[in-house]
Amino acid sequence: MKILIKNQEYELQDIGKFGREGEIYSIKGYSSSKLAKIYDDERRTAYTERKVTAIINKFRSLHWGGLEDFVAFPEFPIYEAESRKFCGFLMKNFSVHSDLFDNRYDLRRSVFKNEKLDDSMAVSVVVTLFTFLQALHKAGFILGDINPDNILLEAESFVPVLIDFDSIQLGTFYSNTNRQAYIDTSVRADGYGSKRHFIYTTDSDIYALAIVCYEFIIGIHPYFFQTSIPTDTEFKKARELSMLDYVENNVSKTSGFGFNIFENPAYWAALHRLQKIKDSHKELYKFFREVFVENRRKYFSTKESKYYKLGTKEIDLEDDVQAGDLLPTTKEDPDELELFMKQFGLSL
């Protein structure tokens, strides 16, 4: 297939990668640091083109201070050479990265799958991810469909990167994708069939990323366990009954579902792992407790410096990201109503 990028013709080369709603290609005669995402036919719509263009323009209008190097955001639209119709976009190629969960903690062996990782480094990954999330929220982006497939780790530095960025929510450009294991109960669905989309919030982003980070650190989903009264994962998630409720002896939640966790080596290993994190990384454990027991939505950070080293560059994302219309940080914000109305363009 021949395509146009900035009015120049190129040819796609199949690399056998698939993204949401399309396929990923390298570009013959173009920089190897870039890839093309080409949408499936049904996604090559005027709406998709407008959304991709809005994301491109938003990224160009802001000074990111280095964060842009760790996000596979759309950089230029791509058109079919023959028809000159929109078909996809250009993005970064993170070629020396692996899936986040290819590196996560392995409960069976009591080590990370990537044995170069230790707990302190893994906590740094979590801090960095929430730093990225807060910066993107401040700039007006809601990630929406946060799941482990959309996060990669660099092979040596273990700096995370975010991919599949076109599935984000920007203003009224909503996302029509979700992963049920990570979606917050606060997320509303609107429409049906191909027109169905999900209305995410900053809170739902924090919740989804907390689940991903919990799995990465602990090695198991916070709602994946069995009690003496059998219940499935989605049942417990909908009722906010997590493994942490048992660790914290939260009888108000646990008593109606069987007070004891069903005896299983994996579940007991997870409980032991949680206790280790509670003892050695108190701030992270406290964050997990706030999200999964207290139902709070705050960004995770440590008491250390707010400066985070991204590769070889030390930057302050909080100061570098500049945007005129900021989204609410979380529902903990006292100005939540005003900011929520700004987020969705509402007025009284």
Tens of pLDDT, residues 27-85: 999 999 999 999 999 999 999 999 999 999 999 888 888 889 999 999 999 999 999 99
Q: What SS3 state is found at 139?
A: helix
Q: What SS3 state is found at 104?
A: coil
- Reading the block at residue 339, the tokens are 């900011």
Residue 205 is predicted with a pLDDT of: 95
pLDDT in tens, 303-337: 653 434 444 444 455 444 443 344 444 444 334 44
Q: What is the 3-state secondary structure of 158-175? A: CCEEECCHHHCEECCECE
- Reading the block at residue 126, the tokens are 């979590």
Residue 329 is predicted with a pLDDT of: 42
48 CB-side CA count, 13 A:
26
Domain covering 97-343 assigned CATH 3.30.360.10 in the classification: no
Within a 10 A sphere around the Cβ of 91, how many other Cβ atoms?
Answer: 23
Q: Are 160 and 342 in contact (CB under 8 A)?
A: no
DSSP bridge pairs for 111: 106
Domain covering 2-92 assigned CATH 3.40.630 in the classification: no
Residue 11 is predicted with a pLDDT of: 96
- Reading the block at residue 292, the tokens are 């999964």
Q: What SS3 state is found at 193?
A: helix
Domain ranges of the chain: 2-92, 97-343
With a pLDDT cut of 90, the percent of the chain lying above it is 58
- Please give the average per-residue pLDDT across 198-225, as a whole number: 95
Q: Which residue has the higher pLDDT, 311 or 241?
A: 241
Q: Are 321 and 63 in contact (CB under 8 A)?
A: yes
Write the single-letter amino acid at 114: N
pLDDT in tens, 97-149: 999 999 999 999 999 999 999 999 999 999 999 999 999 998 889 999 899 99
Residue 223 confidence (pLDDT) above 70: yes
Q: Are 300 and 125 in contact (CB under 8 A)?
A: no
Q: Which residue has the higher pLDDT, 346 or 242?
A: 242
With a pLDDT cut of 70, the percent of the chain lying above it is 85
